[in-house]
Chain A
Amino acid sequence: MDTGNTAWVLASAALVLFMTPGLAFFYGGMVRSKNVLGMLMQNYVAMGVVGVLWAMVGFSLAFGDGGKWIGNFDFVGLKHLSDVTTKLPGYVKVDHAVDLSLTIPALAFCAYQMMFAIITPALFTGATADRLRFRAYVLFLALWSVLVYSPVAHWVFSPTGWLFKRGALDFAGGTVVHINAGIAAFALILVLGKRKGWPKEAMPPHSLPLTLLGAGMLWFGWFGFNAGSALGANQLAAQALMNTSLAASAAMLGWLIVERLKGGHATTLGAASGCVAGLVAITPCAGFVSGMSPIIIGFIAGAVCFLAISLKFRFGYDDSLDVVGVHLVGGIIGSLLLGFFADVKVNPAGFNGVFNGGGGSLLADQLVAVGATLLYSFVASLVLAYIVKAVVGLRVSEDEENEGLDLSQHAEQAYSMAAAGSMGRIG
């Protein structure tokens, strides 16, 4: 047990939790004012639902000793985790160079991973904005967290999972978090349909200051997400933190330059979106690359994600706030570029990519991990979406959509025009 490492992972857990409110405000600012509470609520309720599910069963299914496909029920209800001697399966010394043994309590690891489980399905909310029924979202969230997030986390993050064993690398969640959530969001909107009036009717952001505030919270919290994934306060954490920030910086520039060249203006929404695209792309790479690699990865992600968001207009799917364009595309860019830029000198638990003499084998494994995540998450999410649609209905009614989610789903208003005198208590 190492107290310094434990302290950093505990602090990182708090940083990662803070990203979910950050995401809420990032998206909340982008929707129309009648839907902002609905958006905030869908993000915040993930902190409620997924937190409880993670402790009950999610963690055990992701990190229990169940073989290569899924965990088991050893840690259900946090069983054994109050015991400081509890070891998690697979986290052992592999050879003289690679030691995966945890130097922190298993409970700290469980808490840290809980924050990842919370924010991942919250990413859907950007794609489904303004039209998803609250009860449908909660049901989908709960089912998806247990049936999709936990297995995929097991495949990739747990040393006993099949993709981890195969040699696919994902430092902090390029596949598990971003590709997984991005393709699930895509499946969900295929069943849910477009917002009424899209794409003809203008649906501009109601408060870009909120969006920029949220983007800042995300960047800040992402240090916990990526540098915390070193699971220690050490050189690797420092490398991951530096890579994370540089990728965000370069991606902001990449997005703004392409936006300026194509549209004539560098926008604040572009700056916020660009840095998030870079943070997404560096997530799988953060603990495996060094030097100027994060700047190249970030810049590519910023430029390509800007171009990717126009796909929804071409193909006619209403990915309202560009979860596919930023998280799915950014996650794929990062996961595949890792096959080129990975450097075993940075992290002995990794492998060399194409540019560091490793040949194409890591890239091939990255392709398998990306493909497997895409396939499983898409199919499972599509099935879950149809089930939820059949059980409680996915969409709000047309009247409710016109009225906005704030009033129709939550009986509240974010920016009430009513002065105290015009509001009388009736209950």
Chain B
Amino acid sequence: MQLVTAIVKPFKLDDVKSALKDLGVAGMTVAEVQGFGRQRGHTEVYRGAEYQVDFVPKIRVEVLADDADVDRIVDAIVDAARTGKIGDGKVWWTPVGGAVRIRTGEKGHDAI
């Protein structure tokens, strides 16, 4: 089992969600996050004083997946989130030790 984590542009969240639903993914978790990679931040001006803002708002999407599904899920996210401009984000996956569905107690594959 793997945890697929994607950092995407906020306005791409809907496209990513639709693509994952089309694949039959049963659930996901999203959070508003901030960070920076190669994309630079922006400047803000308040009463003439300029500020450099390094962190850019992004959305983090997390999906639990069977090993066999990881490639399809990652490809779907990459396709849905790509604009071709800097700041499109990143996707990575890491092994997961286990998972339990709290309501039923189901474990492993059944908990996904």
Contact = CB atoms under 8 A, between A and B. Distances in A.
A204 B47 contact: no
A262 to B, nearest CB: 7
Contacts, number: 27
A205 interface: yes
Contacts of A310: 48
A265 B51 CA distance: 14
A348 to B, nearest CB: 41
B105 to A, nearest CB: 23
A313 B47 contact: no
A267 B51 contact: no
B68 interface: no
B: interface residue count bin: under 10
A396 interface: no
27 contacts: A199-B49, A202-B51, A204-B44, A204-B46, A204-B51, A205-B46, A259-B48, A262-B48, A263-B45, A263-B48, A263-B50, A264-B45, A265-B45, A267-B45, A267-B46, A267-B47, A269-B46, A269-B47, A270-B47, A273-B47, A306-B47, A306-B48, A309-B47, A309-B48, A310-B48, A313-B49, A322-B47
Contacts of A322: 47
Contacts of B45: 263-265, 267
Going nearest first, the 9 A-B pairs with the smallest beta carbon separation are A202-B51, A263-B45, A309-B47, A204-B46, A269-B46, A263-B48, A310-B48, A269-B47, A265-B45
Interface residue SS majority, chain A? loop
Interface residues of A, number: 18
A259 B45 CA distance: 10
Contacts of B44: 204
Given A204-B51, A263-B50, 14 more contacts: A199-B49, A204-B44, A204-B46, A259-B48, A263-B45, A264-B45, A265-B45, A267-B45, A267-B46, A269-B46, A306-B47, A309-B47, A309-B48, A310-B48
Interface string B12-56: 000000000000000000000000000000001111111100000
Interface in B43-76: 44-51
Contacts of B50: 263
A397 B45 CA distance: 30
Contacts of A273: 47
A273 B48 CA distance: 12
A199 B48 CA distance: 13
